[in-house]
Amino acid sequence: MPGYEIFGDAERKEVEEVLETGVLFRYGFDQLRKGRWKTKTFEEELGRRIGVHYCHLCASGTAALTIALAACGIGAGDEVIVPPFTFVATLESVLLSGAVPVFSEINETLCLDPESLKSAISPRTKGVIPVHMCGSMAQIEDIRKICEETGVILIEDACQSFGATFNGKALGSFGKMGCYSFDPVKTITCGEGGAVITNDRNLYLLAEGYADHGHNHQGNDRGLEGHPILGTNFRISELNAAVGLAQLRKLDSILERQRRNKAIIKDMMSGVPDISFRKIPDEKGDSATFLSFYLPDEPTARKTASELAAAGVDGCTYWYDNNWHYLRQWEHIKQLQSPAKLPMMLLQERPDYKKLHLPQSDAIMSRTISMQIKLSWSRQDLDQRMEKINKVFKQC
Ligand SMILES: *Cc1c(COP(=O)(O)O)cnc(C)c1O
């Protein structure tokens, strides 16, 4: 997830253009801003690049998810199905919206298992948020069909897979709404930022209004704009959007380098006995931010992860023990520890996450290691990396 590796003149120029005008706000100030609309331009270019009609930039990926849930009318008491392997933000947005997260298993795609999803759907299920983890995709077409058949609203968390596609169609564009993050470690970054995308004009209008205190952005005078709905402030600033705009224009070259580096290291590692690779529903569409592989069992995986780190093979994660990405370590969610009085706490009947048992997900996550793919790797870096990896696997 390498956008930060390639900051340069383009990002600097965009930011300087904003600083020259002094207009850091995305709306209004028409005279002062000298025709510079970084957020609006980013939205237009992103919509075109991804192939969707509407795109709204916001403060973060977490904000994007929260906005999408609100625009889709998902909230108090509704159930939303989520995978246990994601960044914790997916859960946070569901909880903040007032809805109840319901966990469903992942499969060897490292994403939501369509079969498990089917059995998790209840009469209270209003939405499902599959998460396209680690640069690659869920079985999104199967999931979309299930949603269509059951009337459940599909919102995609594509925060980790910006630029990835399934059968040529952008991840994030299969559901009613899709969400991206441009936080500091994502494929492209703007410091803090996110986007919600949709092809539905009405949902777009609700989203962009909700993210700016319910304003409808009609007319030229902000003081006289209508505010037909309640909302909040999830806006992005022009400074962040300026960085993101420069990064977006580098997306194709980022993907190309990532895919090339991943293909080389994957090819080298295919000779290693006892590992198998993550199942990727459409290899061509993989954004290639990570190479994820399975070890035969939990002890071997844990031992391998620590030996890879000791051997200086950086950027490898054993998610099963990681605090941020897998339910197993989320005591705060299991105990519902929050300074906020969450609507879910008021429910008489609610799931007890402490008792939650997800054997299929545990069996997969306990054997998984992901290696981050860097843009800056030279052929020599890759050869040296492989030498270290080979040594580790010979010892095991
Ligand atoms: C990064 C991320 C988010 C949240 O994005 P922020 O911009 O950091 O708020 C949500 N979901 C997933 C899967 C992520 O990786």
pLDDT digits (tens, 9 = 90+) for 145-163: 999 999 999 999 999 999 9
Q: Cα of 61 to ligand 1 centre, how many Å? A: 5
pLDDT digits (tens, 9 = 90+) for 288-332: 999 999 999 999 999 999 999 999 999 999 999 988 899 999 999
- pTM comes to 0.97
Beta strands in the chain (DSSP E): 54-58, 79-82, 100-103, 125-128, 153-157, 165-166, 169-170, 177-181, 194-198, 276-277, 290-294, 316-317, 368-372
Q: Is 90 in the pocket of ligand 1 (CB under 6 A)?
A: yes
Active-site residue set:
186
CA atoms within 13 A on the CB side of 311: 21
Q: Is 87 in the pocket of ligand 1 (CB under 6 A)?
A: yes
Q: Cα of 365 to ligand 1 centre, how many Å? A: 19
Q: Report domain extents, the chain.
A: 3-250, 252-395
Closest CA to 371 of 286, 309, 282: 309
CATH 3.90.1150.10 is the classification of domain 252-395: yes
Would the pLDDT of 180 be above 90?
Answer: yes
Can you tell me the mean pLDDT for 5-22? Answer: 95
Q: Which residue's CA is minimally distant from atom 5 of ligand 1? A: 61
- Please name the CATH architecture into which domain 3-250 falls: 3-Layer(aba) Sandwich (3.40)
Rounded Cα gap, residues 176 and 147, in angstroms: 10
Q: Is 326 in the pocket of ligand 1 (CB under 6 A)?
A: no
Per-residue CA distances from 73 to 126, 183, 344 (Å): 9, 26, 16
The pLDDT, as a whole number, for residue 396 is: 54
Q: Cα of 48 to ligand 1 centre, how many Å? A: 22
Neighbours of 83 (CB within 10 A): 28
Would the pLDDT of 107 be above 90?
Answer: yes
CB 311 within 8 A of CB 391: yes
pLDDT digits (tens, 9 = 90+) for 343-380: 999 998 889 999 999 999 999 999 999 999 999 999 99
| Site to substitute for ligand 1 among 66, 67, 87, most atoms within 8 A of C-beta | 87
The pLDDT, as a whole number, for residue 322 is: 87
Looking at the CA of residue 89, tell me the nearest atom of ligand 1. 10
Neighbours of 226 (CB within 10 A): 12
Q: Is 66 in the pocket of ligand 1 (CB under 6 A)?
A: no
Closest CA to 186 of 391, 5, 322: 5
Q: Which residue's CA is minimally distant from atom 13 of ligand 1? A: 87
| Site to substitute for ligand 1 among 171, 181, 323, most atoms within 8 A of C-beta | 181
The pLDDT, as a whole number, for residue 6 is: 87
Can you tell me the mean pLDDT for 132-136? Answer: 98
Which class for 189: exposed (0-12), middle (13-18), buried (19 or more C-beta within 10 A)? buried
Q: Which residue's CA is minimally distant from atom 2 of ligand 1? A: 159
Render 333-393 in DSSP notation, one character per residue: HHTT--SS--GGGG-SS---GGG---HHHHHHHTTEEEEEPPSS--HHHHHHHHHHHHHHH
Looking at the CA of residue 192, tell me the nearest atom of ligand 1. 7
The pLDDT, as a whole number, for residue 286 is: 98
Can you tell me the mean pLDDT for 127-156? Answer: 98
